[in-house]
Amino acid sequence: MGHIELISHIAAPAERCFDLSRDIGLHQQSMHSSKEIAVAGVTAGLIGPNEFVTWEARHFGIHWRMTSRITAFDRPRLFVDESNEGPFASFRHEHRFESRDITTTMRDIVDFRLPFGLIGRLADLLVATPYLRRLLRLRNLLIRSMAEGSSGAAGELG
């Protein structure tokens, strides 16, 4: 099983970081290189409790769809998205936010498993984990940039 923990420190309130993290437009913007777009469910604005989004993208030259549902939601501290539909046998992304003074610590905890037994486990370790870590870092850099430098409201990111 693949496991990623990533911590980002952002000079902005937790509420802003939380909302930017669940903004469909921001996610699409951060994944522009794979042309990832929302095609079903919540396709714009902020995704919320028990809602889902289906993403369509091209990674490693393969066209795929993945549906994620928000399974836990406690604004502005935590939300979790999970998927069992798409390229992963299982995928769980926990988004945690903790404010201290004027800084928010954003913690991403991702656990996933590719299908295909031993081959899938090797791919988790050698390919998927570094690739997903890079995608998360790019997404978090955009969240930090928007949270610290933009006065536009979440949901208006396009």
Tell me whether residue 8 is in a domain: yes
Give the domain CATH number at 11.
Answer: 3.30.530.20
Amino acid letter at 156?
E
- The pLDDT of residue 124 is 66
- Give tens-digit pLDDT for 118-158: 665 766 666 789 999 999 999 999 999 999 985 444 444 33
Q: Which of 99, 130, 102, 116 is nearest to 3 (CA)?
A: 130
Is the pTM of the predicted complex or chain greater than 0.85? yes
User: Total domain count for the chain?
Assistant: 1
The answer to whether residue 158 sits within a structural domain is no
Is residue 106 assigned to a domain? Answer: yes
Q: Does a structural domain hold residue 154?
A: no
Closest CA to 54 of 39, 44, 32, 69: 39
Q: Is residue 127 part of a domain?
A: yes
Phi, psi of 75, deg, nearest 5: -70, 130
> Could you tell me where the DSSP H helices lie in the chain?
14-21, 24-30, 117-123, 129-149
41 φ, ψ (degrees, to nearest 5)? 75, -135
Q: Is residue 34 part of a domain?
A: yes
Domain coverage including residue 33: 2-149
Predicted confidence at residue 146, as pLDDT, reads 96
The span from the CA of 33 to the CA of 142, in Å, is 14
What pLDDT is attached to residue 150? 54
Q: Using 50 as the pLDDT threshold, list the residues of the chain that sit under it.
A: 151-158
- Does 156 map to a domain? no
